[in-house]
Amino acid sequence: MDIISRFLRYLFWRAPAPPNRLREILLNFSVELHKQQLAEQDALYRDNVLSAPFAIALALAATHAGSGKATAAQIAKALHLPEELIEEVRQEFTDMTLRLADCGPDFRIHLANAIFADRSYDVPNDYCDLMETAYDGAVKQVDFRSDPKGACGDINSWVEEKTKCKVTDILQSGKVDTRTSMLLVNAMYFTGFWDSHFNPQYTALRPFHETKEKTTMVEMMYQRKNYKTSCCDKLEVDALEMPFVGKKLSMVLLRPQKIDGLDRLEKKLTPALLENLLKSLGEDHDVEIYLPKFKLEHSTSLRGTLEALGIQDLFTDRADLGGMSKTPGLRVTGVEHKAVVEVDEDGVEGLFLTPLIMMCYAGVSFNYNVNRPFMFLIRSCDPDVILYIGSVRRF
C-alpha cells in the first residue's frame, strides 16, 4: 500500500471510538490466554511463556468478520466482544495498527497477520479488502493439497519478509499436509530503546534464583533512575514501569515479593487485579534496578489453547466461514503464532552502544532486584493496550 493510500486510510479511521474498548478486550484476553498457556504446561516444570495477545486478538477479530452463527459467537465470547460493539472495536483495531505502523523513529513493530487458504477455496475480494484495510492483514492462497511442503516454504518466506527477517521458520516441517484447508498465521516482533539506557559498564554476572534450591548466574544490568512503581499485597507483587523512547510504549515488570512467588502470582492474577495494579503506577521513585538480559522466542500452535477458551467450531466441520468463501467445507486447520522479545542495555533488540556516564546520588533509593522468576508486559500507552505478556522462569 503506497504512502498516500495509507494516509487516507489513517484519516478515515481516526474518528474517536468509545473509550478503551480495545483496552478492556485485550486486558481480559491477555490474562486468560496467559493462564491457559500455563495450564498446558507440566505444573512441576513450567517453562518460559511469551505471547502477543494484541496480534492474536487481531487475527481472531479478522476471522470473526468472515464467520457466522455459532462460530462467530464463540470467537466473540472468547474476546469478550459484545455484538453491539463489533464495528466500534474493529475501528479501534484499525486505528491501533496504524499507530503502530506509523510510529516514527521511536520504535518498530513488525506484524505478520495472514490467512492462508488452499487454492481450491474461492475467497471474495470484499473479505480480502477488509482484511487489509481493517486488520493490517492479508489473505493468501497456497497449494496445500498438491504441494504442502511448498506451501510451508511460501508461508515462512512471507512471514520473514513481513518481519524483516526477524521471525523465521514459523512453520516447522510436518505442520501442514494435504488435509490442511486454512491456517491463521500470526507473528510479532518489537524493536525499541529504553528511555533511559542501561550502561553496559555496570552489567555483571549476578545470581538469579530459579527456585529456592537452584541459583543460576546471569548477566544482570543495573542502573539508578526514577521509575513509576506500585505493589499489590493480594498478588504479593511489586510492579515497575520502564518507558521506551518517546514514552508511547513501556515494559511493566511484575516481580513477586518472594523467590517462589511466580506460581501464586499467575494463579491469583485476574483482569481486575491487573488493571488496578497498572492504574496504581503513579509518581516516580528513586530506584536501583537490577534486571537480567534475556531473550524469549516462543512458537506455538494455538489451536488447543483457543479450543480451551471456547473457540471450538472454527476447527471442525461445523465451522461457518461463509464470509471468507462460499465453497463448502472450509474450516481452520491450525493457528500458528510466534512472538520474540529480546531485552538488553539499549532496550528491546537494542543495536547501539551507550557512552559511560558517571552519576552521583544522595538519599535513599528503592532496591528493585529482578533476581527471581517474574512476569512482564509490553504495552502501548495511547491507547492503553497490552501488546506482549510473558513469564521468565529460567535461563
Confidence band of 104 (pLDDT split at 50, 70, 90): low
130 and 275 together in one domain: no
143 and 166 together in one domain: yes
Structure confidence at residue 268 (pLDDT): 98
48 and 115 together in one domain: yes
Tell me if the pTM is above 0.85: yes
Q: Is 74 a residue whose pLDDT tops 90?
A: yes
Confidence band of 18 (pLDDT split at 50, 70, 90): very low
129 and 53 together in one domain: yes
Structure confidence at residue 337 (pLDDT): 94
Q: Which CATH number is 229's domain given?
A: 2.30.39.10
24-62, pLDDT tens digit by residue? 999 999 999 999 999 999 988 899 999 999 999 999 999
Confidence band of 233 (pLDDT split at 50, 70, 90): very high
Structure confidence at residue 265 (pLDDT): 98
Q: Which CATH number is 71's domain given?
A: 3.30.497.10
Please state, in angstroms and rounded to a whole number, the distance separating the CA atoms of residues 130 and 13: 13
316 and 327 together in one domain: yes
pLDDT, the chain, mean = 89
Structure confidence at residue 5 (pLDDT): 46
75 and 93 together in one domain: yes
**34-37 LR contacts (CB < 8 Å, sep 24+):** 34/266, 34/269, 34/389, 34/391, 35/266, 35/269, 36/305, 36/308, 36/309, 37/300, 37/305
Q: Which domain holds residue 36?
A: 3-192+296-341
Q: How many CB atoms lie within 10 A of CB 363?
A: 5
Q: Is 154 a residue whose pLDDT tops 90?
A: yes
Q: Give the bridge partners for 188, in sequence order.
A: 111, 339
Structure confidence at residue 340 (pLDDT): 86
198 and 131 together in one domain: no
pLDDT > 90: what percent of the chain? 70
Structure confidence at residue 236 (pLDDT): 98
Confidence band of 107 (pLDDT split at 50, 70, 90): confident
Interval 99-121 mean pLDDT: 85
Q: Is 167 a residue whose pLDDT tops 70?
A: yes
Q: Is 110 a residue whose pLDDT tops 90?
A: no
Angle, helices 271-279 vs 21-39, to 10°: value is: 120
Residue after which a domain boundary falls, among 305, 322, 341? 341
Interval 109-128 mean pLDDT: 94
102 and 130 together in one domain: yes
Structure confidence at residue 103 (pLDDT): 67
275-325, pLDDT tens digit by residue? 999 999 988 999 999 999 998 888 899 999 999 999 999 999 999 999 999
Count how many domains the chain has: 2
Q: Is 358 a residue whose pLDDT tops 80?
A: no
102 and 234 together in one domain: no
300 and 284 together in one domain: no
- Residue with the bigger pLDDT between 141 and 363: it is 141
21 and 102 together in one domain: yes
- Residue with the bigger pLDDT between 343 and 330: it is 330
230 and 369 together in one domain: yes
